[in-house]
Amino acid sequence: MYEFYARGLKSVEGERKGIKRSIKFVWHLFVAFLLKLTPPRRLMYAIAFVFIIVAMSESKAVSAVYSFIIITFLLAMELADKLITKDELSVARDIQLSLQPTNDVIIPGYDLIAHSEAAKQVGGDYYDILNLPDCSKLAVIGDVSGKGISSALYVVKMQTALQLFATETNDPRELLIRLNSHVYGQLKRNYFLSILLVKLCSDGNVELCRAGHPPALLCRAVDNSISWLKPNGIAVGMAPSFNGGIGSEQSNTFFSNSLEMQSIQMNQGDVLFLFTDGVIESVDTDWKEYGLDRIAELVKHCVGGTVEQMRQHINTELSIHRAGADLRDDTTFVLLKRTS
**Do residue 247 and residue 207 come from a single domain?**
yes
**Do residue 14 and residue 148 come from a single domain?**
no
Examine residue 123 and state whether it is found in any structural domain, yes or no: yes
221 within 8 A of 272, measured Cβ to Cβ: no
**Do residue 66 and residue 107 come from a single domain?**
no
248 pLDDT higher than 50 = no
Query: CA-to-CA distance for 37 and 50, rounded, in angstroms?
Result: 17
Q: Which domain holds residue 170?
A: 103-338
Q: In the chain, what is the straight-line distance between the N-terminal and C-terminal CA atoms, in Å?
A: 53
The letter for the amino acid at 136 is S
* Contact partners, residue 157, CB within 8 Å, separation at least 6: 183, 186
Which residues make beta-bridge pairs with 128? 140
170 within 8 A of 200, measured Cβ to Cβ: no
* Contact partners, residue 265, CB within 8 Å, separation at least 6: 204, 205, 206
User: Which stretches of 166-272 are DSSP H helices?
Assistant: 172-183, 254-258
**Do residue 89 and residue 107 come from a single domain?**
no
**Do residue 276 and residue 333 come from a single domain?**
yes
Examine residue 218 and state whether it is found in any structural domain, yes or no: yes
Reported as a single tens digit per residue, the pLDDT across 111-153 is 999 998 887 767 788 899 999 999 999 999 999 987 777 788 8
DSSP 187: S
Number of domain units in the chain: 2
**Do residue 67 and residue 112 come from a single domain?**
no
Mean pLDDT for all residues in the chain? 85
- Would you give the distance in Å from CA 260 to the centre of its chain? 24
* Contact partners, residue 58, CB within 8 Å, separation at least 6: none
Mean pLDDT computed over 8-32: 73
What pLDDT score was predicted for residue 246?
A: 45
What pLDDT score was predicted for residue 210?
A: 96
**Do residue 86 and residue 118 come from a single domain?**
no
Examine residue 174 and state whether it is found in any structural domain, yes or no: yes
What pLDDT score was predicted for residue 168?
A: 94
**Do residue 286 and residue 308 come from a single domain?**
yes
**Do residue 42 and residue 187 come from a single domain?**
no
CATH number reported for the structural domain that contains residue 325 in this entry: 3.60.40.10
**Do residue 181 and residue 245 come from a single domain?**
yes
Q: pTM for this structure? A: 0.74
Domain stop point among 93, 116, 139:
93
